[in-house]
A and B are shown apart, each in its own frame.
Chain A
Amino acid sequence: MDKLVEKLKKIDKRWIYLLIFLSCILPFFPGFEFLNQEFSETKETIAFYDNINELKEGDAVFIDWAFDPTTQAELLPMAEQTLKQCFDKKLRVFIYFPFLTGISLGENALAKLQKEPGYEYIEEGVHYQNLGYLPLMTDMLLFSMYSDFKGTFGKEGKIFKGLNTFADIKYVMCFSGSSWPESYILLQRRFGFKMQVGVTAVIGPDYIPFLQTGQLQGMLFGLKGAAEYENIRVKAGSDKKFNRKANAGMASLTLSHLVMFMFIAIGNLIYLFEKKVKKI
């Protein structure tokens, strides 16, 4: 027993890395379908969907694409589904990119969406507006002004009709893996817009107090939140074929968590065994 414990204690890190790698990769291959368990939707996800669903045709929504490839595994499926739901509802979508490395990610997602059946009609300046990039914090200073929304971005067109300040935006939706959405929460008091967020699982707990106070009306929480959102949209009639990017990763998420539990358990067993031996 001592030998085994000693061996486990000094296990090469590379074995741990290999197991984690396999737990992430293997569920994508046939034979691991049993990991695809059904799950229910949380109230935050349902609220996120319902809030967009309750908007009227032509209402303006502001999407803050505050993520880059580092967090795209969790946030890209959320942002894509949100865009689709907004286009389905015929809302005017304004997309803003506060991170330079997120711009191409967003533009590519929109270009890909325009090739998907049912969304070929989407056109910039008519259905959505790419508001481009402003350096961090400068954007918040400009957005906080009662200045002309068009003037801020120097754009013209029918899509801006009736939009003068942030107060004319019906909903702000921010996708981020950091505390960035808090900047909009600070603006919310001034302009009174409604807001919801899509965040990574790591940062999600930070936003729960804002959900409880009603400053946030909905939240997508990590990859599971994205998968729940996809499921709600599929139940509402969207094609499953084009709406299961987050669900495809759920088996991998499950197996990698199980491997993590195994590591925690083995680590603690070694610790308890050693403690017992020392006492003797």
Chain B
Amino acid sequence: MKKEIPLLIGFFATIGWYLEFFMAGTFFENWKMFFTNGFKTVTIVGLLVGAFSVLRINFKRIKYNNDRWFSVYQLSLIGFMILLGVTRGVNPGTPFDAMFTFGFVPLDATVFSLLAFYVASASYRSFRIKSIESAFLLVAAIFIMLSKIPLGEAMWSKIPVIGEWIMDGPTSAGKRAILFGAYLGGLTMMIRIAFGLERSHISE
């Protein structure tokens, strides 16, 4: 039963969702809503499991002196944010919001902006014309980059036109092919899960 029940749930959920798309407003909607509520419950339990896991890992680290101070720091911040949120609220202008605006926002943006540095370094070392294909790629990339900055248009008024053609033509064609493949793959996977042919989600 350990395997049969999850497979049956998979079958009913998949079929219900699929048919509801074509037969909206019928009893399939209630069927879908039933599984949606289950999905919500699982998501919320998942969040709780995640929070518990963070606490457990950090308490273990503190106990066994494995990067102890990082864990103390992380747990203190989590506790501090919860305390601020619970006692003073989370609306704009509260201490919680100040921690978000002056702490989280710059840190989060900084981590993402590091990409610019890595891309620059990679472009210097790896973006080489080693073949005809890579030459095409480089030329296309330069036109696209120039079309996305004001200087490109100032240099030659046709640069944005060429950039747009590359995007609307070759790029779009490639993207459509990928999308078709991905959605057909998704449909195949749905059928396989519904009929129990795909069992990786039950660890088999």
Q: Do A and B bind each other?
A: yes
Q: Which residues of A contact B148 (CB under 8 A)?
A: 201, 221-222, 224, 253, 257
Which of B29, B33, B142, B172 is A209 in contact with, Cβ under 8 Å? B172
- Give complex CA distance A208, B176 in Å: 9
- Total count of chain A residues near the partner, CB < 8 A: 61
Q: A107-B91, A250-B150 are in contact. Are A138 and B25 (CB under 8 A)?
A: no
Stretch of B57-65, B69-77, B105-113, B188-196 lying at the A interface: B105-113
- B151 interface residue, CB < 8 Å from A? yes
- Give complex CA distance A254, B78 in Å: 40
Q: A20-B116, A111-B93, A271-B128 are in contact. Are A146 and B150 (CB under 8 A)?
A: no
Residues 202-244 of chain A, each 1 if its beta carbon lies under 8 Å from chain B, else 0: 0001101100100000000110100000000000000000000
Residues 24-53 of chain A, each 1 if its beta carbon lies under 8 Å from chain B, else 0: 100000000001111110100000000000
- Total count of chain B residues near the partner, CB < 8 A: 59
**A68 in contact with B116 (CB, 8 Å):** no
Which B residue sits closest to A262, measured CB to CB? Answer: B124
Smallest CB separation, A259 vs chain B (Å) = 7
Smallest CB separation, A195 vs chain B (Å) = 17
Q: Which residues of B contact A16 (CB under 8 A)?
A: 117, 120-121, 124
| Residues of chain B having any CB pair with chain A under 8 Å | 21, 24-25, 29, 32-33, 36, 39-40, 43-44, 47, 90-93, 97, 100-101, 104-106, 108-109, 111-113, 116-117, 119-121, 123-130, 138, 142, 145-146, 148-151, 153-154, 160, 164, 167-168, 171-172, 175-176, 179
